[in-house]
Structure 1
Amino acid sequence: MSSNEEGERPYQRVAAAIRHRITTGALRPGDRVPSTRQLVRDFAVAMATATRALAVLRDEGLVVTRPGSGTVVRAPDPPARRAGRTPDRALTTARIVDTALAIADAEGLDAASMRRLAAELGVGPMSLYRHLSGREELEHLLVRAVFRAHPLPDPGPPGWRARLELVCRLEWAAFRRHPWLPELVSLTRPLLVPEVMAHTEWMLQALDGLALTSTEKAREVLALPALVRGIALSAAAEVRAERETGVANDEWWTVLDDEVQARMSSGRFPRLAALPMEPAQDFDRLLEHSLTRHLDGLAARLGRGRAGP
């Protein structure tokens, strides 16, 4: 009988090794632990074994999956706050918005309820309504706060393409930093807030003087934000899935590996099977690819001269 059969199973051995690194301080709170693929290489185990080892550590509360960061060492819980109430005179709209922003970033927009905000701020729920008319105004203020934190430079770079790239990347950075944001920025029912409208004005200014019809310009300032927001919504869905399930994307694919291999080897999808398996969640590269191809197309359109609407 092998030592593994007598003692630890492979996944337990891997979990014990990572646990030791955490308890000895070799891996500190916030440090990224080895990915499942790295564990496969380092310990010569199957992917399912590596996945189970991380699941054990997650169940023990030693690690946590963070969207965009992978699996990291979990920080100790902060000491419980003393019960107490904040005097109403110390409550401000800015404090409410900052608190809501922190909750939404950590737990999702739904978690930033008025009741939760009141509890975090140590006030009665009705105190919030002396500063806000309700949830809709709070969401407007959250959007304004995020866009103010990602200001457009003045002056911007020369050239229409550089200006359009800049505004798209600024919006992308905001969406990545605040995964709940794409749900609030609608193209069909936009929020009429100055900071968002300034982005549209910036794009129209970038298009000034180009051989485009008014209709083409209007479509352009809708198409580019739609491109950025569409990819951001997919990224936000992955953040939400990781938060709700505790399973990172690469671990999720590991579970489906046998089914994927069976479908790809069936001969029904030869072109799909021939594609390189680039991580589907590499949203930054996907954004750069999509933005580049779109602007290449606009440049080609401008090179052909004026066309119909």
Structure 2
Amino acid sequence: MKDVDLNLLPPLQALLELRNVSRAAERMHLSQPAMSAALSRLRRHFNDELLVRSGRSYELTPFARALVPRVDQALTDIQDALQLRAEFDPASSDRTFVIAASDYVTGILIRHLRALIGAEAPGVTVDFVPTSRARLKPGLETFASVDVVIGPMGFDLDGSSRQLFRDEFVIVMDSSNPLLASERLTVADIASAPHAVGEFGGSIVTPPMRFFEQMGQAPVVAARVAGLQGLPAIVEGTDLVAAVPRMLATRPVQTLSITAVGFDPDLEVPLVEGMFWHPLQSTDPANLWLRSVIQRASTHLSGEGLAAHPVTIAAH
């Protein structure tokens, strides 16, 4: 059994039923490359093609047709087993949940989440694991050690998902930065200033970097740090600028000698965060409760109190 990955069962069922990689990926909330990779692993495991082309569509091999009732039964048994936890009671539970999230999400969400958990489930512990260290993997393997992932929508994170909240990026800089003396700021002005940027490992391109690229600008990167949380403090007392989510900038602007500058409304650089979980956990009472708490904590988030510079950043 050590060589059997049970995470492959849901994709296998979808492939056997739909006989189409793209449609199976859509059902499982997976990217098409992730579903193709799952099919390749399944073919190696069973030493059978499973799906073979027939004209413009695919057909099941004889072996795959024999698998259909067994896979359906196996998933039914697993779902039945999960329902054994239907007696989950937050008030008496001492369970530890694990949430993978960026430092930005953890920083703005944790106090609201702790307030709700303290009131509803005083014995429950929630561990936040940085997404950079959570070993996020293609497919659903991540959820072997993580209950919920909170991350940006549109970055091919796998699993079932739901949008949590929307934010937007602003530019923060020291309050004495000469740029603030300008009556008009453009994207080119900001791009030419030395930037401090947050990185998340791998080849991830953050929304601000993607925005500058689309605007035909290449920011001058003068400092790199892990994540976004430390950027407001880094720019204080320097000539650096940094793009950070508005909700992350709100408190530092009130306590540090820094100023936030927003973009013109038609140049908004959005950040939409969502939560992701294993499809098999969709009806699990414990996971349902955790997702409910996260969703309710997110409703308390707001960046409307940010004191931004009156001059906004224009395209030209």
TM-score, L = length of structure 2: 0.24
